Amino acid sequence: MDSGSTFAPNDDVRIPPRALATEAVHAGRDDLARQGLHAPPIDLSTTYPSYDSRGEAARIDAFATTGAEPEGPPVYARLGNPTVARFETALARLEGTESAVAFASGMAALSAVLLVRGSMGLRHVVAVRPLYGCSDHLLTAGLLGSEVTWTDPAGIADALRPDTGLVVVETPANPTLAEVDLRAVAHACGSVPLLADNTFATPVLQRPAEQGARLVLHSATKYLGGHGDVMAGVVACDEEFAGRLRQVRFATGGVLHPLAGYLLLRGLSTLPVRVRAASANAAELVRRLAADPRVARVHYPRIGGAMISFEVHGDPHEVIAGVRLITPAVSLGSVDTLIQHPASISHRIVDPTDRHAAGVSDRLLRLSVGLEDVEDLWADLERALGGATTADRLVTAEPGTASVV
């Protein structure tokens, strides 16, 4: 094999089971030493020369039939890219699935799943709120011809129809961090594929495929990249569904740039370390926020993680305006700590009635905890909370009365 231009997931030799931390460092890179390389190459080619046009035609026909990765050298970047394939291989191994297919964004990945099922005449979707605001909007607006039934986890089985093509959940959910029992939900789905958005948890904290989810969605922009400098999405799944996703990606052009694939592969190598360190910071901040009289409620998932949501007695906009170390910005999962007001940004597009019913109150703030020293983070939060609380609220609030849910 040369500088990596022909790498595909099936090129890996049979590899014995390895710990997650080991997979994070080595998956997608197992062939490098045999090539005399240490860092994975970046293949920026958009097209690949071939003097065998008959062979190319046969390979394209095969791709059109099954969506399987073309054997031999690449053909065109819209069919697949060797650098991106390395990231796909690594993510599939971390999630414990046969395959993974990467896209230009998390929304492009979700759109591709909906298009696959819709092309089979299965346009009905059952979904549980809350979801990421744009995912909610995509389903509610029916922009891709889908029809959605919103329900709680207990109502999934009753909501299924003959034309139901997908059940969608996010756990922990954005932004309330509500959790669902994936195994129970998968059982309720029957033969309908369950898609679990695993962006917040990452495979470090849970692997939905092991609990029955057929599709595992990530906004790879977040923890998988981890540094706020790459936008991507990915679906981990079985090879049959992956083939259909590749066909949609080829037809619609929602491809991931090779440089983004490289950055994501690099990000995976530190994913377990980053998630665990940020989670330790988050757990300490949860303890302090729950004891603070200016905080009405703290939301933190049972599985842990680096995401916190909390509701304040005062004005949440003043908290946003008052931070100095913490970055007031949309998105999450970076090495630095970010804070945002979901009702104003990430979930603004969701109807207010639906938003409130899903537990996204107007006083809710979402905190993506990073790798800074926890004392510095708390000092910044405490200062910002002070600017959000009026004197009379401080007088009436009782210390330590915030509940953690």
Q: Does 163 participate in catalysis according to the annotation?
A: no
Handedness of CA 6, 58, 97, 267 (dihedral sign): positive
CB of 133 within 8 A of CB of 349?
yes
Catalytic position from the list 117, 132, 292, 355: 132
Q: Is 197 a catalytic residue?
A: yes
C-alpha span between 398 and 260 (Å, rounded): 49
Cα distances (angstroms) measured from residue 295 to each of 289, 345, 382, 399 = 6, 21, 11, 9
Tell me whether residue 12 is one of the annotated catalytic residues.
no
Rounded CA separation 202/265 (Å): 14
User: Given 29, 93, 129, 222, which residue is catalytic?
Assistant: 222
Residue 145, φ and ψ in degrees, nearest 5: 85, 10
Please say if 48 is a catalytic residue.
no
Active-site choice (43, 136, 197, 380)? 197
Q: Write out the two tokens for 147.
A: 């029809």
Instruction: Give dist(CA 241, CA 239) in Å, integer.
Output: 6
375/366 Cα distance (integer angstroms):
19
Q: How far apart are CA 298 and CA 286, in angstroms?
A: 7
Indicate which residue of 78, 266, 383, 393 is catalytic: 78
Q: Which residues are catalytic?
A: 78, 132, 197, 222
